[in-house]
Homo-oligomer: A and B are copies of this chain.
Amino acid sequence: MNKKQITLSDLAKELGISTATVSRALKDYPDISDETKVRVLGLAKKWNYRPNSMAAGLRKRESKVIGVIVPDIINHFFSSVIKGIMSVAYDADYRVMLMQSDESFEKEQVDAEALFSSRVDGVLVSVAHGTKSYEHLLQFNNSGIPIVFFDKVPKEVVDSSKVMVDDFHGAFSVVEHLLEQGCRHIAHFRGPQLASTSINRYEGYLAALKKYDLPVNEALILECEELTLEEGQAFTNRILNSGQPVDGIFAVTDAVALGTLVALREAGKKVPQEIAVAGFSDWKISAILDPPLTSVAQPSEEMGTLAAKLLLKEIAGMKDDEEVSPETIILRTELKIRKSSMKKTFL
């Protein structure tokens, strides 16, 4: 039971050489005799030596860690993005420090500070609903730490790379589809005012209505805070009880759409005959429901890998003092038409 952790100088002492030589041997440096290399490697393995990356990081001024801030890990979309990020990080020999903002501006600020203190080499952020200013994130830029935003990006112009999905077009296409199916009174359960994604989806919804010269009925637009199944359920009941005519519902997220389906089932409404339903995210289970849910698929894991690759590129550029100009990548969504919206089939 060896409580003490092995250091370079432990190895050096035992071999009667300098720490510099040990360090070089371990790093497979050119100017080192095969003999010492073998001896060093042998002893390192014997003692199970593991370099202290805090020491190396301090010296080299790089931590080999990237920080990630997401609003909520449980969300399947974000956990997929994280998976993508982690696989790229792994391949590039970077570690991932994960933070969760819980959609809170204050927590996001604390998280950002912690990442800064950890001297992460770069940061990936999807901003919280509650975020209203960006100084806490811009400090990274100002200190030479690249930052790449993904999914929910700052509304104001920020001089950083961004990776997002085409929420506007995704929403537009699904609402257009509902219209094509004959819907004329489409409700929209939108997301929070401040989130870039919900704004864009909302605008896609408006644009589709406009294309069909339909008026916007404010009574049919409800704003989710939690984006939960329960909210979808409650909003659906509210709409049904309002007496407003409704023949279609577009929910900002599949979670909300599922709540909608449950409420409609309980109210004895036929989907899609009486009310067509569509969501956004294309959860795996959405496809196996009865009726299967029409939704907009977004490439989540790909978003993670792209964002991470972009970040690593910028980190590398930073090291070489290159000029790295920010990029913006917009990923295409894909409309998945399923029974929940196929009104025409039942005419």
Q: Which residue of B lies closest to A318 (CB)?
A: B3
A244 interface contact, C-beta 8 A: no
Interface residues on chain A, number (Cβ under 8 Å) = 53
A193 interface contact, C-beta 8 A: no
Interface hits, A85-108 → B, CB 8 Å: 86-87, 90, 95-100, 107
Q: Looking at A51, A119, A139, A142, which has the most chain B CB atoms within 10 Å of its CB? A: A119
Chain B nearest CB, measured from A111 CB (Å): 8
A258 interface contact, C-beta 8 A: yes
Given A54-B119, A100-B83, A139-B48, does the pair A76, B76 have CB atoms closer than 8 Å? yes
A139: B residues at CB distance < 8 A: 48
A143 and B113 form a contact (CB under 8 A): no
A285 interface contact, C-beta 8 A: yes
Q: Which residue of B lies closest to A52 (CB)?
A: B119
Q: Which residue of B lies closest to A300 (CB)?
A: B74
Assembled-state Cα–Cα distance A241/B78 (Å): 39
B98 and A118 form a contact (CB under 8 A): no
A124 interface contact, C-beta 8 A: no
Chain B nearest CB, measured from A90 CB (Å): 8
Q: Which of B63, B72, B86, B284 contacts A98 (CB 8 A)?
A: B86
Assembled-state Cα–Cα distance A83/B76 (Å): 13
Chain B nearest CB, measured from A193 CB (Å): 25
A79 interface contact, C-beta 8 A: yes
A52 and B95 form a contact (CB under 8 A): no
Q: Which of B2, B52, B229 contacts A117 (CB 8 A)?
A: B52
A97 and B100 form a contact (CB under 8 A): no
Given A3-B143, A83-B73, A97-B95, does the pair A290, B288 have CB atoms closer than 8 Å? no
Q: Looking at A72, A116, A118, A258, which has the most chain B CB atoms within 10 Å of its CB? A: A118
Assembled-state Cα–Cα distance A297/B167 (Å): 35
A157 interface contact, C-beta 8 A: no
Assembled-state Cα–Cα distance A285/B262 (Å): 10
A278-292 Cβ-contact flags toward B at 8 Å (1 or 0): 000000110011100
A100: B residues at CB distance < 8 A: 83, 86-87, 90
A80 interface contact, C-beta 8 A: yes
A139-167 Cβ-contact flags toward B at 8 Å (1 or 0): 10011100000000000000000000000
A79 and B73 form a contact (CB under 8 A): yes
B50 and A116 form a contact (CB under 8 A): yes
A347 interface contact, C-beta 8 A: no
A219 interface contact, C-beta 8 A: no
A265 interface contact, C-beta 8 A: yes
Chain B nearest CB, measured from A237 CB (Å): 15
A83: B residues at CB distance < 8 A: 72-74, 100
A281-309 Cβ-contact flags toward B at 8 Å (1 or 0): 00011001110000000000000000000
Interface on A for B, CB 8 Å cutoff? 1-3, 5, 48, 50-55, 57-58, 63, 65, 72-74, 76, 79-80, 82-83, 86-87, 90, 95-100, 107, 113-114, 116-119, 139, 142-144, 229, 258, 261-262, 265, 284-285, 288-290
